[in-house]
């Protein structure tokens, strides 16, 4: 394939480039679950690499839980499906006495959902969050940070921010899980979610995201900046959500 720029080239180590190509073939289905990868001699020939370099590439994919096997034996693709997340499933408040919709949706997929609250405090948000909340330069917001898990494995780091005049003195300011989730609480407080805007980007994980999600490498995360608006188009919640990019895909539908 011709290069768009004569000076452009892939600066990654060869074993990282090999892992990237094989990862793409696995995730796109060209290498289906249960299929054997080409033998090491074939991979060394295909990529012009040494046996040791190919083994380093395979180790990356094993750490990412995409393949299974050992040196000298057949290496096969693990059963792997990117988890499909439909943001529209989680925006509406849960009914009276019902759990947070994220827990309900996990149960529908046969998964045991978990929520671990890490921190609740007044904090200065990142600039994009502060702008969405219309905060002054030195403004702070109520921050709630938690890790969501499936069957004990962390899947999402969620950090939400709320205007102080709305959150102080409410359950939003207490270091305790909220029955039904924050959409239900905001609706009870007279601030029902009426409009939601998502901005999704791929980023290299921060140290905090890397550790919280137990990432196997510096694969990109999916970062969603979600702004929830209520009556008068007032922003009442701004959330930063981070998911492992190789394990999840977002599903949006339009009519």
Predicted pLDDT at 5: 55
Strands 195-203 and 153-162: unpaired
* CA pair distance 235, 7, nearest whole angstrom: 45
Q: What does the pLDDT profile of the chain (255 residues) look like in tens digits? A: 345 555 668 888 999 999 999 998 988 888 988 899 999 999 999 999 999 999 999 999 998 888 998 666 689 998 765 666 666 666 566 666 667 766 777 777 778 888 899 999 999 999 999 999 999 988 999 999 999 888 888 989 999 999 999 999 999 999 998 888 888 899 999 999 999 999 999 999 999 999 999 988 778 899 999 999 999 999 999 999 999 887 787 777 776
The CATH fold assigned to 14-77 is: Arc Repressor Mutant, subunit A (1.10.10)
Beta bridge pairs of residue 141: 123
Predicted pLDDT at 97: 66
| pTM, entire model | 0.80
Residue 214: Cβ-neighbour burial (10 angstroms; 0-12, 13-18, 19+): exposed
Where are the domains positioned within the chain? Answer: 14-77, 83-250
Predicted pLDDT at 2: 46
Q: What are 108's two structure tokens?
A: 């529908």
The CATH fold assigned to 83-250 is: Chorismate lyase (3.40.1410)
Q: How far is CA 156 from CA 115, 150, 181, in A?
A: 10, 9, 15
Predicted pLDDT at 1: 39
Q: How far is CA 246 from CA 182, 210, 212, in A?
A: 28, 13, 16
Distance between the two ends of the chain, CA-based, in angstroms? 37
- Let me know: does 147 contact 212? Beta carbons within 8 Å: yes
């Amino acid at each position: 394939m011709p290069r768009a720029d004569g000076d452009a080239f892939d600066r990654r180590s060869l074993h990282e480039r090999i892992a990237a190509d094989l990862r793409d073939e696995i995730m796109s289905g060209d290498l289906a679950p249960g299929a054997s990868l080409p033998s090491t001699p074939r991979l060394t020939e295909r990529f012009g690499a040494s046996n040791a370099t190919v083994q380093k590439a395979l180790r990356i994919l094993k750490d990412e839980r995409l393949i299974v096997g050992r040196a000298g034996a057949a290496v096969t693709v693990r059963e792997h499906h990117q988890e499909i997340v439909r943001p529209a499933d989680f925006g509406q408040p849960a009914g009276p006495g019902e759990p947070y919709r994220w827990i309900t949706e996990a149960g529908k997929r046969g998964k045991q959902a978990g929520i671990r609250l890490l921190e609740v405090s007044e904090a200065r948000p990142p600039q994009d969050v502060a702008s969405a909340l219309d905060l002054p330069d030195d403004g702070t917001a109520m921050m709630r940070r938690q890790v969501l898990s499936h069957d004990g494995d962390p899947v999402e780091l969620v950090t939400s921010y709320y205007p102080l005049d709305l959150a102080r003195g409410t359950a939003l300011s207490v270091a305790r899980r909220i029955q039904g989730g924050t959409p239900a609480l905001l609706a009870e407080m007279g601030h029902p979610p009426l409009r939601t805007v998502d901005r999704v980007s791929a980023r290299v994980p921060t140290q905090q995201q890397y550790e919280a999600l137990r990432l196997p490498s510096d694969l990109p995360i999916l970062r969603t900046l979600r702004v929830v608006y209520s009556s008068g188009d007032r922003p009442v919640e701004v959330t930063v959500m981070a998911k492992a990019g190789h394990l999840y895909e977002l599903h949006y539908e339009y009519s």
